Chain A
Amino acid sequence: MTAKTTPLSIILRNRKALAGLGIILFYVAMALLAPVVSPYSVQYTNPSAFLLPPSGAHIFGTNTLGQDLFTLDLYGAQVSLIVGLAAAGVAVAVGTVVGLVSGYLGGIVDEFLMRVVDFFIVIPAIVFMIIIAALLGPSLINVIMVIGLLSWAPTARIIRSMVLSIREWPFVESAKANNARSGYIMFRHIFPNVSSVLYGNAMLAVSSAIFTQAALVFLGVGNVTSISWGGIIRDAYTTGALSAGDFTYVIPPGVFIFTLIFGFILLGYALEEIMNPRLRTMLKEVRQ
């Protein structure tokens, strides 16, 4: 492969991908540098500086405890990114395994797993998540698990359909003819050939997880105790600041959530675009 065709260079040549990556890196920087860049420490409270509007001292104003909103907004990037990436990781991992097993083994296993998938696609996930998160109690791990374990269905479907076509290819038969066991075939032969669909799918899963976490916290479940953008918006609402017309409280975290999600969406679509023609040529070569 010449330098021009390495995966990274292909990604970098795609405008959507560049834009998406740019946005994501901006927020990664925000998350990493929050302790360094923020004007106040996280613990700083000043009850007398109650719900101040934006000023030179407090760029985004303060909350009911007198904490600097700009500082909180910077730190919020950490939770969004951690939960987004981790929850999406869980969802994609579970979805991939389910899709592989279901697609490859077929029969009763497939029927059963697909009914489970149908269930998860049909029920309003957010309702489920609210209930379970409320039951489990607030913590970062809990919220990651809840989102991850309830969002794997779309991935499973996508992987399964790829598996259904790959498993008919002669190289799979060849391995079977040499006494390969199912597990070996699924993970050594089939998975590497279906993994290309995962990249785009994973990025979209991240964007979905980020939004879901913010929504859950806003609704009062999930990791309400950590600093997160959803939490800031929630506070704006519950302390009456929003009804009082203090829009600068909610606009920054709202903008941050949406632009970060948008960044992952851009990257996700770009990756799908890039992978798709490769998938098509791979399948076309066979149909010769």
Chain B
Amino acid sequence: MPILEVTDLKKYFHTYRRRDKSSSTIKALDGVSLKMEAGQIHSIVGESGSGKTTLGRIIAGLIEPTEGSVILDGTNIFESAKSDLRSVRRNVQIIFQDPYSSLNPRFSVRQIVEEPLKLNKIPFTMKDIGSALMKVGLTPPEEFLDRYPHELSGGQRQRVAIARSIVVRPKFIVADEPVSMLDASMRASFLQLISDLRRSDNITMLMISHDISTAYYVSDVISVLYLGKIVETGSADEIIKNPKHPYTRALIQAVPTLGRIEQKKIEIRDSIEKSHTTVGGCRFRERCLYAISRCSEEDPDLRDIGNGHRLACHVDL
């Protein structure tokens, strides 16, 4: 049984301007479905505005969807009684993007890592805290227990954040851009840590990223999200080596590579505007170099194209 099953998730934000009685709806998520098996690392890749953060928050149970369901290990998160929700909360942990504001500046490392255990009324000993810190590379743990966040570097703080999330042995971790605020030289060791944890603790992780190259490094599965819908999904290798959606291809081409380039070419229209209100048809067509007439009429669905690879596009590249 898949550990996570998201079905047709929608999240609409309604804004109403009293001034001219105009209302608009922002469709942050417009029908997202995905499945994850235990022990998998699944990356959601998208730009800001793609809905990736909203998706992460909904799966973590922090906000409610407008439509759709999230079933975690058999439990439908948004239809359970309050008491079930509490145990769901304990089983899904979140790692945030910003190592500076995701730790309470007034708590010591020990207090930070202890907190989830205390809040969820899980009995523990100092050994549990120590082993969590060791697992994330903060050794010897005694040296870090009484330190405060401002005494640690960004990379160390992020490690504390990971320690905090694994200490309750969750079933599932949502990591929201965990490395984007770290220096490049720290990212590699961080991604390595995530890989190691997956192997040693069989952690299941949903990673949200704007950078497809970091996604490639740790994930089994990559799903590309564009303006609220998944446009392509498949194994990491398959997506990187054989990208079919023009947006995915543009994302891959945009990754900085070593070596002087005067003008980098990527397969996307240099349109300055980005609209959330493309009416009808494929939401990517305004930036797409390959759009055909069908693209303005019909919003493509995700179809299976073999090899576990699914694509939402009318054009065959």
Q: Do chains A and B touch in the complex (CB under 8 A)?
A: yes
- Identify the A interface with B (CB < 8 A): 169-171, 173-180, 184, 189, 192-193, 282, 285-286, 288
Q: Are A173 and B115 in contact (CB under 8 A)?
A: no
Q: Are B115 and A177 in contact (CB under 8 A)?
A: no
How many A-B pairs have beta carbons closer than 8 Å: the answer is 58
Known A176-B62, A177-B93; contact A193-B104, beta-carbon cutoff 8 A: yes
Contact with A along B214-227 (1 / 0, CB 8 A): 00000000000000
The verdict on B311 contacting chain A, using a C-beta distance below 8 Å, is: no
The CA of A51 and the CA of B117, in the complex, are separated in Å by 72
Known A171-B102, A193-B106, A286-B101; contact A177-B92, beta-carbon cutoff 8 A: yes
Q: Are A285 and B100 in contact (CB under 8 A)?
A: yes
Q: Closest CB-CB distance, B208 to chain A, in whole Å?
A: 14
Q: Are B115 and A169 in contact (CB under 8 A)?
A: no
Q: Closest CB-CB distance, B139 to chain A, in whole Å?
A: 24
The CA of A213 and the CA of B101, in the complex, are separated in Å by 43
Contact with A along B88-104 (1 / 0, CB 8 A): 01101110111011111
The verdict on B140 contacting chain A, using a C-beta distance below 8 Å, is: no
Kindly list chain A residues whose C-beta atoms are within 8 Å of the C-beta of B94.
173-174, 177
Kindly list chain B residues whose C-beta atoms are within 8 Å of the C-beta of A178.
89-90, 93, 115-116, 119-120, 168
The verdict on B61 contacting chain A, using a C-beta distance below 8 Å, is: yes
Kindly list chain B residues whose C-beta atoms are within 8 Å of the C-beta of A286.
98, 100-101
The CA of A175 and the CA of B102, in the complex, are separated in Å by 10
Kindly list chain B residues whose C-beta atoms are within 8 Å of the C-beta of A171.
101-104
Q: Are A175 and B100 in contact (CB under 8 A)?
A: no
The CA of A59 and the CA of B93, in the complex, are separated in Å by 73
Q: Closest CB-CB distance, B80 to chain A, in whole Å?
A: 14
Q: Are A173 and B62 in contact (CB under 8 A)?
A: yes
Kindly list chain A residues whose C-beta atoms are within 8 Å of the C-beta of B168.
178
Kindly list chain A residues whose C-beta atoms are within 8 Å of the C-beta of B86.
179
Known A178-B119, A179-B89; contact A173-B98, beta-carbon cutoff 8 A: no
The CA of A171 and the CA of B112, in the complex, are separated in Å by 9
The verdict on B181 contacting chain A, using a C-beta distance below 8 Å, is: yes
The CA of A180 and the CA of B96, in the complex, are separated in Å by 17
Residue of B nearest to A169 (CB): B101
Which among A174, A176, A179, A286 has the greatest number of chain B C-beta atoms within 10 A? Answer: A174
Known A177-B61, A177-B62; contact A170-B105, beta-carbon cutoff 8 A: no
Q: Are A174 and B102 in contact (CB under 8 A)?
A: yes
Q: Closest CB-CB distance, A197 to chain B, in whole Å?
A: 14
Known A175-B119, A177-B62; contact A282-B105, beta-carbon cutoff 8 A: yes
Kindly list chain B residues whose C-beta atoms are within 8 Å of the C-beta of A184.
119
The CA of A174 and the CA of B161, in the complex, are separated in Å by 10
Q: List 6 A-B contacts (CB under 8 A).
A: A173-B62, A173-B94, A174-B164, A179-B89, A180-B119, A193-B105
The verdict on B60 contacting chain A, using a C-beta distance below 8 Å, is: yes
The CA of A104 and the CA of B40, in the complex, are separated in Å by 37
Kindly list chain B residues whose C-beta atoms are within 8 Å of the C-beta of A189.
104
